[in-house]
Structure 1
């Protein structure tokens, strides 16, 4: 089991967390190959299709030989049953679109890190009460960097990661990091539907490398 400190350190060091879903395991493998070769070591595979459990399990099985050192998380977990299913499939941590106490409790019982999604101070308070250390701000484009600036001092023990609408450019990412986030989640801006449909893995690598370079420059 990967411990909390390792996960938080990896998120912070990498500064970006790519996320995606696809029904075809070959496409999933191609995407992770493309991310891994440019230095990505943490990926969120979202639970957004009926093949998610099967494909996630296959990715975990491939990891040791194909992507050593990669942290694989599962996202879009909305209830305790889903949480348990992916915990049994050996997810390194769980990411939610909201604050679901039953998911937090299920993760805690299995000693698995839980990352809740929040968009209000009340939700952030709930996340903290249920043991959250890293908070996903979702949808990021509706909240904006100014939200982080306003609430960060209220929650000094928490780390923040916006997801949704974050652009792969220095101005947009710079505003978020200046506000105090430790990382940004990157979905369709790196792994778009067109990219997946065309199996355009070179674009995935190019955009992921660009995002990593921006993070390093900002720091």
Structure 2
């Protein structure tokens, strides 16, 4: 499995924070049934790795990966959870070494031309552009794309349903990451039908 195939599975990757383990399976089903095939579960809560396992069981056809992979501990937790892919907000030498030692597709984060060039020199062709809006948005990606056209991005951070098409229109963007379809109140109310509707709306963004 390649990171390209995972990122190409839908135009939007939901960036999910799991606060309650009981929400993991129904949330995964709602997102997948709404057309979002790759789910990034951030390792920001103590139950996140456990949630990955439950989501993979609930929707075996989906790509369930981990986000906020920032060090060896979170990398190892992702491997142990059976993550289909991993995403980091930035990068360092330790993560590059770990990523190269594993068969699990890895999407490292970058926000500047120097970071993009460093990762390109290590053979990474697909990067997360984070934090997208704060780091210059579509204008920054256009500027990076001119001298470094061989790199393709999944921008994440501050992107909305309204701005997603602007990113997806760029030649060097394969998909975007977002949280707008993960309405906290709807999740709290366990309104999975409404979440599925928001996911379908997101999956149809072009």
Task: Specify every segment of 5 or more residues in structure 2 that has no aligned partner in the other structure, as ranges.
Answer: none
Give TM-score scaled by structure 1 length: 0.86
SS in 1 for 2:205: helix
Checking the alignment, whether the CA contact within 8 Å between 1:23 and 1:51 is kept in structure 2 is yes
Any idea what the Cα deviations from partners look like across 1:140-177, whole Å, max 9, x if unmatched?
121211111111132222211111111113xx222112
Aligned to 2:202: 211
Aligned to 1:201: 192
Offset at residue 132 of structure 1 (A): 2.1
SS in 2 for 1:73: strand
Q: Which has the higher helix share?
A: 1
Q: Distance in 2 between matches of 1:130 and 1:204?
A: 38
Aligned to 1:173: 164
Q: Distance in 1 between matches of 2:131 and 2:196?
A: 24
1:77 equivalent to 2:69? Answer yes
SS in 2 for 1:139: coil
Equivalent of 1:53 in 49, 60, 63 = 49
Q: Distance in 1 between matches of 2:188 and 2:123?
A: 38
Equivalent of 1:30 in 21, 26, 31 = 26
Q: How does 1:1-219 map to 2 (within 5 A)?
A: 3-4=1-2, 7-60=3-56, 62=57, 66-142=58-134, 143-169=136-162, 172-180=163-171, 181-187=173-179, 189-215=180-206
- RMSD of aligned residue pairs (Cα, Å): 1.7
Q: Distance in 2 between matches of 1:196 and 1:121?
A: 38
Give TM-score scaled by structure 2 length: 0.91
Offset at residue 94 of structure 1 (A): 0.9
Q: List, as ranges, runs of 4+ consecutive aligned residues in structure 1 with deviation greater than 6 Å.
A: none
Task: Specify every segment of 5 or more residues in structure 1 that has no aligned partner in the other structure, as ranges.
Answer: none
